[in-house]
Chains A and B, each alone.
Chain A
Amino acid sequence: MMRRMESRIDPHSAAFERFREANLARVGEFRRRQQEARFERPQRDLDRLAHHGKNFVRDRIEQILDPGTPFLELSSLAANSEYEGQSRSASVVTGIGIVSGREVMIRADDPSIKAGAWYPLTVKKNVRCLDIAIENRLPVVHMCDSAGGFLPLQAEMFADRTSAGRIFRNQSILSKMGVPQLSLVFGHCTAGGAYIPSLSDYAVILRGNGGIFLGGPPLVKAATGEIVDADTLGGADVHTQVSGVADYAANSEEEAILLGREIVAQWSRPEKTTIEMREPEPPLHDPAELYGIIPDDIKIQFDMREVIARIVDGSYFHEYQPDYGKTLVCGYAYVWGHKVGILGNNGVLFNDSSLKGAHFIELCDKNRTPLVFLQNITGFMVGREYEAQGICKDGAKFIMTQSGASVPKFTIMINGSFGAGNYGMCGRAYDGRFIFSWPNHQIGIMGAEQAANTLADVKIRQLERAGQKLSEEDVRAIREPVIESYAIESSAYYATSHLWDDGIIDPVDTRNALGVAISASLGAPIEEPGYGVLRL
């Protein structure tokens, strides 16, 4: 039982209207970019796909999902700022959906871009998708259709701990954990890619287009002089009748997909971890009002309670310590029927707000209540008074308990995420199960203006020590490029391009994204709580 949240906003005010217009423009830009990444391809690439009788990757996914069920796509704008924008969505589609009544992770190569070749960020996205599968014990359906690694950039994706080898390691760990995987081989799986179906519990291969081999025909010819065509080397019949690398042959993509659905239907459905649940209900306050709440200027503060009221079931919220450490709002609510503990920023983190956060996280962890972090944070408070009060050790308590919490954690980048505030509030390094960002989100070690001023000051002092006197124009010439590159690198698009999150979402979709994510997270058991040493 909880009380309804009251809203203090005035949807008829000039500020609301101004913010609304700014945010609708931001969301429009996001939708435009997403549409482009999902569907826009040069005509010759689409023609080539049709010539080979291949379906578009998104049609394949739609066909395998249970009709009318939600699909939570992850990182739809990955790689948008790299490789001249060529590797749309990083050339692979990943997401959580329902197949034959089971929640699964889908990982589908996109052969409409450079024949599905993997770029370094494709590898990063593949690894992340399988990390998610491991953390949440989600079965995986691979749709394989890739020419292999994009050779000109091979050094960036081959040998490191989180490079391509990690994909196959993660597949092996999934299998060890008893989490099933299915591969549908629609195209070639060459070299490392051959291990994806080989490491899956079940593999279906398409006659004609499908092929699995460690070395393709050109490599074989170069290595041994043997001349062999792809089908004889690693086609459907070889692998399902002779080698045993794949289990079923299919004559069409449709047959492969329907067979895949039947295979998934054979998997047992493990029981979910139980947490407090209730009947879901939509928020009382209209989520569309979020557009009028988030300011058009990152320097303007807003009340995170107004956001919470538009994300949680029935706008019911039990606020914890409402009069203490007021720059961090903490409390309990339900999201699509799942009980969660929410921590949201209402200003800079002080000693008291850090202690409140640490305390609340411990309560949730002991109470087996998943945590949702709503970030809009400039950092921890600075200044003599706060250092003397031990802001460092209080911040450390917050980071320590947050890192140590064993309940599933979810983060929404509502607006700013700067400095150590990103760390305390469960940024990427803290292994939250999912992070989603709003299009207005900005992220960096500090704000753009502060960074530019700091860098310019250092530079100016260096030059002055060398005896140079700088005019105002010189100072501007130093500051402006810094501000410009900082603005690009701190944008939500740059962040999502590099997979610092699991995708940008429209603010009104936040409750739905969280609902799918929380439900998926309950596939894994919650470990016993335990913490490191707090500096008291």
Chain B
Amino acid sequence: MGYDFVLGGESHTVHPIHEPEGPNLRIDGQPLRAELVPGLARGEFFLEVDGRRERLFLASEGDVHFVHWRGRTHRVEAINALERARRAASAAGGTEVLRAPMPGTVVEVATRAGEDVVAGALLMTIESMKLQTAITSPRDARVAEVFVSPGATFDQGAELVRLESAEDEGEADPGDPGKGGQPG
């Protein structure tokens, strides 16, 4: 499993390969031998590629790396290949129904149909077994429908909120609000 490196808007796939001598990387399918040797200064490295030796400086913040080389700074983002595949699949968006993780009561509804929400936004608070749980949006989306109101009780798996992609026009889709959700 490799990483994708995004540099100047272009994505390159890098795989480490294990041969005692010869190439140790495959970049977009092309084998290459590269060594990164730390220098004495903070962030200083020497990169040796095909017999050439280049001095560069590296600073990293998580998976975003800043490479200072020959007077210019390049931003390189490393994206785990599996993460990229998942993002590509979920970017398709579409509708998604959030269901009750356990039976309980609605304490508070913090959103309404038509609202655009970001990932992590509080949609509602429920209470079950004396514990209050926040129901949050798993992604950036538009709230299509809220199936329950404060005070309502529901079973495990009941529909709480339906999300759709924010780009969708949000045309009315009545769905099946009666199933599982109970009016307050």
Using CB atoms and an 8 Å cutoff, list the residues of chain A in contact with chain B.
Answer: 1, 3-4, 8-10, 284, 297, 299-301, 326-327, 347-348, 350, 378-379, 381-383, 447, 449-450
Contact = CB atoms under 8 A, between A and B. Distances in A.
B128 to A, nearest CB: 7
A450 B130 contact: yes
A4 B87 CA distance: 13
Contact of B131 (A8, A10, A347, A350): A347
24 contacts: A3-B82, A3-B83, A4-B62, A8-B119, A8-B120, A299-B132, A326-B101, A327-B101, A347-B101, A347-B102, A347-B129, A347-B131, A347-B133, A348-B102, A348-B128, A348-B131, A350-B102, A378-B129, A378-B130, A378-B131, A382-B129, A383-B103, A447-B130, A450-B130
A382 B1 CA distance: 44
Nearest to B83: A3
Interface of B: 1, 62-63, 80, 82-83, 101-103, 119-120, 127-134, 136, 156
A449 B63 contact: no
B82 A301 contact: no
A336 to B, nearest CB: 19
A57 B103 CA distance: 54
A165 B135 CA distance: 54
A382 B129 CA distance: 9
Contacts of B134: 301
A327 B103 CA distance: 12
A177 B132 CA distance: 50
Contact of B120 (A9, A301, A350, A450): A9
Contacts, number: 52
B113 to A, nearest CB: 22
B133 A301 contact: yes
A506 to B, nearest CB: 24
Nearest to A9: B120
Contacts of B1: 1
A281 B127 CA distance: 38
**8 residue pairs, one from A and one from B, having the closest CB atoms:** A8-B120, A301-B133, A348-B129, A300-B132, A284-B62, A3-B80, A301-B131, A3-B83
Given A284-B62, A348-B102, A10 B120 contact: yes
Nearest to B62: A284
A299 B1 CA distance: 42
A1 B81 CA distance: 11
Contacts of B82: 3
Nearest to B125: A300
B60 to A, nearest CB: 10
B137 to A, nearest CB: 9
A379 B119 contact: no
Looking at A301, A347, A379, A382, the one whose CB has the most chain B CB atoms below 10 A away is A301
Contacts of B80: 1, 3-4
Contacts of A347: 101-102, 128-129, 131, 133
A449 B102 CA distance: 21
Contacts of B130: 299, 378, 447, 449-450
A379 B129 contact: yes
A299 B103 CA distance: 16
B172 to A, nearest CB: 29
Contacts of A284: 62
A316 to B, nearest CB: 9
Contacts of B156: 350
Given A1-B1, A350-B102, A381-B102, A8 B136 contact: yes
Nearest to A382: B129
Nearest to A449: B130
Nearest to A379: B129
Nearest to B119: A8
Contacts of A3: 80, 82-83
Contacts of B103: 383
Contacts of B131: 299-301, 347-348, 378
A10 B11 CA distance: 30
A485 B62 CA distance: 47
Given A8-B119, A301-B132, A348-B102, 8 more contacts: A1-B80, A4-B62, A4-B83, A347-B101, A347-B133, A348-B128, A381-B129, A382-B129
Contacts of A379: 129
A432 B172 CA distance: 55
Nearest to A326: B101
B129 A4 contact: no
A299 to B, nearest CB: 5
A4 B63 CA distance: 9
B88 to A, nearest CB: 14
B102 A327 contact: yes
B22 to A, nearest CB: 23
A447 B129 CA distance: 11
Contacts of B102: 327, 347-348, 350, 381
Contacts of B62: 4, 284
Nearest to B156: A350
Contacts of B63: 4
A73 B128 CA distance: 38
A287 to B, nearest CB: 15
B183 to A, nearest CB: 22
Contacts of A300: 131-132
A384 to B, nearest CB: 11
A382 B104 CA distance: 12
Nearest to B129: A348
Contacts of A9: 120
Contacts of A378: 129-131
Nearest to B134: A301
Contacts of A449: 130
A299 B129 CA distance: 9
A142 B19 CA distance: 52
Nearest to B101: A326
A52 B4 CA distance: 68
A238 to B, nearest CB: 60
A140 B102 CA distance: 49
B73 to A, nearest CB: 22
A350 to B, nearest CB: 7
B86 to A, nearest CB: 9
Nearest to B82: A3
A449 B130 CA distance: 10
Nearest to B103: A383
Contacts of B136: 8
A4 B83 CA distance: 9
Nearest to B138: A8
B94 to A, nearest CB: 17
